[in-house]
Chain A
Amino acid sequence: MLAVASALAGSIAGSLTAQDLNGAGATFPYPIYSKWFSDYATATGVKINYQSIGSGGGIRQLTEGTVDFGASDAPMSDAELAKMKSPVLHFPTVLGAVVITYNIPGITKTIRLTGPVVADIFAGRITKWNDARIASLNAGLKLPSSDILVVHRSDGSGTTYIFSDYLSSVSRAWAQSPGKGKELAWPVGLGGKGNEGVAGQVKQMPGAIGYVELAYAKQNSLPFADLRNASGEFITPTIESVTTAAAAVTSKLPANTDYRLSIVNAAGKGAYPISSFTFLLVYQAQPDATKGRKLVDFLRWYLRNGEQSAASLDYAPLPASMIAQLQKRLDTIQVASS
C-alpha cells in the first residue's frame, strides 16, 4: 500500500517537471520516434516531447527557436537553411520507402513497373491498364482495358516529396512539370488525405493506382508493384532493399557531406528506387548547455541503440557503414559551456 502511494507520488512529481527536450516535425517517423523517446526515458530518465505536426511546421518552429530540434522527411532547402539563426545539421535517423499500390480488376499477382511508366501514368499520358508499355513489362498477366484512375495525396507530405523526387529523376518531362515538392499541381487524378485517404480510394475504385508509404502498405496488406531500379532489376520493396539503396549512395560519400541526400533511383544492386532518409534537424551551436548536452546524448543513443528497433515498426535501419560516420559528426556539435 505504501509502496503504491510512494510510486504514485513519484510519478506525479515526475509529470510535474517540464519535458527535458522538445521537438516537432515530420509525421512519417512519429511511431519510431515515440518508441525511441519512451525507451530513452526508461533507460536514462530524460523525457523528450515530440509533436508530429508535419515537416514544414517542424522547420518553422526550429527557425523560431520554439523547439530544441526539428524533424523532416525532405532535406531542408538552401533557402530554408538561410533563414535559420545559425547552421543546422541533418541527422538521418531511419529510412522509409514509397510503394505503388493498385486495384486492377482480375489481377491478383504482383505487377511490374518502371520509373518512366509510373511517371507517364501519373502524368496522364498512359490511361489504360492494357497499354503496350505496361503489358510488355507483365507478359504473363491478362491486363484489362479499363481506365487507369490516379489517386495522389491531397495534403502536403514528405511522401509526395519522395515520390515526385523519384519521378523527376527518371522522367525529364516530369522534372519540368509538375516537378518535385510536398504538394504539386497534379496533371490528373483525385486527391486523398493521408495514406489512409489514398489507400481507401484505391481499394474502393477498380482501376485505381496510388502511392503510399511502405510501412502503411505492409501494415494494411495492400498490394504493391515491383519496380525496376537503375541497375535494371525488378525490386520488391522490403526493409532490406531500402537499406541497400541507402548503402549504395552513402558508400561513395565525400568526407564533408552535409547528409542532405536524395537516394531515389540509387544505382546499387538490389536497391529499391523510391527510398528516402528521414532527418532530425539540430543547431550546430547549441545555445543552452544543459539541453545541448542532453540532445547530443540522445543522438548518440539512437545511433547505438535505436536502429535495432526500426524494423519492428517497418522502418528500414541505416546501413551499418553510416553509423560510424554519423557518430563522428556528433563531435562537430558545439555545446555552449555553462
Chain B
Amino acid sequence: MTIHDSPQTFVREDDGATLRIHGSAIGDRVYSGAITFFAVCVPLLLLAVAWELGVAGWPALHKFGFGFLTSSDWDPVKGEFGAAPAIYGTIVSSIIALALATPLAIGVSLFLSELAPRWLKQPVGFLVDLLAAIPSVVYGLWGIFVLLPVLRDPVMPFLRDTLQLDRTGLFSGPAYGPSMLAAGIILAIMVLPYIASVSREVLMAVPRSQREAALALGATRWEAIRGAVLPYARSGIVGGVILGLGRALGETMAVTMLIGNRAEIATSLFAPGYTMASLLANEFSEASSDAHLSALMAVAFVLFVITLIVNAIARWLVWRVSRGTSGRVA
C-alpha cells in the first residue's frame, strides 16, 4: 500500500464523514502530492547532474577514448589528458583508508554494542560520531602540521628501515611526508565515524535471542560474538564499509593538502599521488580552454559513476540486512 492510497481508503470507510475529516483528506492529498514531488526531485537532480557532466565531458571522452582512463599524460599545456594516475590514486587511497578504518570501526562498534558499560556507551558513541562533524580543511591542516612531521620521522623511516619493508616496494623511497600513505591515513580517520555508526546500528539490531541462544549452548562471550552476532550483522557492516568507501572516493580538501598532487602511478606508498577529486579542486577554477574543461568534466563524470555504483551496492546491502532482522524480530 502506498502513501497515496491511505487517505482515500480512510474517507471511503468513514462514509458519514464530517466536513472536518473531509477537509483533512484534501490536506492529506496536498501533503502526499508535495512529498511525492520532493521525492521525485532528488533522482531527477541526480540524473540532471549525470547528464550535464556526461555532455560536458563527452568531447574529451570521445577524443581520447579508452585512453582517457589508461593514459598517465595529464598535460594541460599540450592539451593531452589521461586520468589514470588520478583514478589509481582515488582507488588506492580509499583502499588504504578502508584497510585502516574497518578493523578500528568494527572494534569500536562491537565494544559499544556488546561490551561497554551503559555509562560509557553514550559518550564514546557521541565522540566517534563527532569525528564526522570536523570540517575537511581542519583535517588537512592537522595533517600538514601534525601527521606529516610524524610520518616523515619516525613512522616512515621505521617502516622502511627498521621493519625493512622497503623490500616489498610499498614502503620505499624518500620519506617527504606528503604521500599516498598520508592521504590514506587522513581518509581512514574521516571515514571511521561512518563505518562505526552504521556497524553499531546493525549490531544493536541483532536480536537478543541470537546472543542468548549462543550463550545457552555454552559459548563464551567472544564465541557468541564471533559465531552468532557478527555473521548475523555481516552484510550490514559491509554496507557501512562501502558507505565509508563512497565518502573516501569523493573526499577533496584534506586529501589535496596531503597527497602531494603528482600525476604519476608509483608502487611506493611513500610517493606522492593524485586523486580525481583533488585534480578537480586544483584545476577547475583556472581552466579556460575548452579541451581542458571538458577533460575535467569527464573526470567528474568518471568519479560520479564510480561513486554511484558504490553507493548503490551499499544501499542494497543495508536494505538486505535490515529486512532480514525486522522479519526475525517480529
Interface, chain A (partner B; CB < 8 A): 53-57, 59-60, 79-80, 147, 149, 154-158, 178-186, 189-193, 197, 200-201, 204-205
Contact B174 A185 (CB under 8 A): no
Task: Across the interface, name the chain A residue whose C-beta is closest to B144.
Answer: A200
Known contacts A147-B174, A178-B75, A201-B178, A56 near B257 by CB under 8 Å: no
Cα distance, A201 to B148, chains bound together (Å): 10
B77 in the interface (beta carbon within 8 A): yes
* B321 CB–A CB distance under 8 Å: no
| Chain B residues positioned under 8 Å from A149 (CB to CB) | 174, 176
On whether the beta carbons of B257 and A191 are closer than 8 Å, the reply is no
Question: Is residue B76 contacting chain A, with contact meaning CB distance below 8 A?
Answer: yes
Judge whether B288 and A60 touch: CB under 8 Å: yes
Q: Does B260 contact A (CB under 8 A)?
A: yes
Contact of B260 with A191 in the complex, beta carbons under 8 Å? yes
A interface footprint on B163-204 (CB within 8 Å = 1, 0 otherwise): 000000000001011100000000000000000000000000
The answer to whether A155 and B285 have CB atoms under 8 Å apart is yes
Contacts of B256 in A (CB 8 A): 154, 193
Contact A156 B287, CB 8 Å, known A178-B77, A200-B144: yes
Give bound CA distance, A59 to B289, whole Å. 11
Interface of B is mostly: loop
A155 and B288 contact, Cβ closer than 8 Å, known pairs A181-B77, A190-B261: no
User: Of residues 54 to 89 in B, which have CB atoms within 8 Å of A's CB atoms?
Assistant: 73-78
Chain A residues in 8 Å Cβ range of B148: 204
Bound form: Cα–Cα A163–B68 in Å? 29
A-B contact pairs, 18 of them (CB 8 A): A53-B285, A56-B285, A56-B286, A56-B287, A57-B285, A155-B283, A155-B285, A156-B287, A183-B286, A185-B73, A185-B75, A186-B262, A190-B260, A191-B261, A193-B256, A200-B144, A201-B177, A204-B149
Q: Whole-angstrom distance between the alpha carbons of A81 and B257 in the complex?
A: 34
Asked if B272 is at the interface of the complex by the 8 Å CB criterion, the answer is yes
Q: Is the CB of B288 within 8 A of A80?
A: yes
Please determine whether B283 and A183 come into contact, CB atoms closer than 8 angstroms: yes
Contacts of B285 in A (CB 8 A): 53-54, 56-57, 155-156
Roughly how many angstroms separate A181 CA and B263 CA in the complex, as a whole number? 16
Q: In the bound complex, how far is the Cα of B278 from the Cα of A147, in angstroms?
A: 27
* Closest A-B pairs by Cβ, 9 of them: A156-B286, A191-B261, A154-B261, A54-B285, A185-B75, A56-B286, A181-B77, A56-B288, A179-B77
By beta carbon, the residue of chain B nearest A191 is B261
Q: A234 to chain B: closest CB distance in Å?
A: 30
Q: State the CA gap A35–B20 with chains docked (Å).
A: 63
Bitwise, B249-282 to A at CB < 8 A (1) or not (0) is 0000000110011110000000010000010011
Is A193 touching B261 in the complex (CB atoms < 8 A)? yes
B284 cross-chain contacts in A, Cβ below 8 A? 156
